[in-house]
Amino acid sequence: MALRPILRFPNAHLRLTAVPVTQFDANLTILVNDMYETMYAGLGIGLAATQIDVQLQVITMDLSESHDQPLTLINASIVDQHGSQICEEGCLSLPGIYADVPRAKEIRVLTFNEHGNAREFDADGLLAVCIQHELDHLHGKVFIDYLSALKRDRLLLKMTKHLKTVL
């Protein structure tokens, strides 16, 4: 496994759209393993392949504190959704800043696993938020896109200051 560099906002490649995976092969396994290593190292709960400059519809997630409940989503899509919720979100591509974002409360997800097997499942709460956040990445969207320009500028200034203190 290998750590991959995470693209940081406003890198233009974060705006690229991912294409579906067509080859469920050893290269996909390597990508998925690298994404877990990179996500866990960054203390993130979700990572989209576009964040490491790979334009494929691959998402890794793990909401557990013990890092033992991996959830890999390949070519995932939301086929049904209900309700709304607002949750504070952060992102490995926007370190040090957090904001409330409106999302669907309950979603039904159609996805493939890394072996190419399809399945559908329902998600709500933080899991639903995380899936929607990562699917946005695959469509070139980041969570601050949902905010007003004023709020966004304020947060980006905060991110700049945060990066100065940690680098």
Name the residues that contact Ni ion, by CB under 5 A.
91
Q: How far is the CB of 18 from Ni ion (least distance, A)?
A: 13
Q: How far is the CB of 116 from Ni ion (least distance, A)?
A: 26
Residue nearest to Ni ion (CB): 91
For the chain, the distance separating the N- and C-terminal CA atoms, rounded to the nearest angstrom, is 25
109 vs 131 by CB, closer to Ni ion = 131
Tokens of 157: 């200034």
21 vs 91 by CB, closer to Ni ion = 91
Q: What is the DSSP string of 107-160?
A: EEEEEE-TTS-EEEEEEEHHHHHHHHHHHHHHTT--GGGGS-HHHHHHHHHHHH
DSSP conformation class of 24: -
Asked about 134 being catalytic, the answer comes back as yes
Q: For the chain, how big is the Rg over CA atoms in Å?
A: 15
Q: How far is the CB of 150 from Ni ion (least distance, A)?
A: 22
49 vs 91 by CB, closer to Ni ion = 91
Please list the active-site residues.
Answer: 134
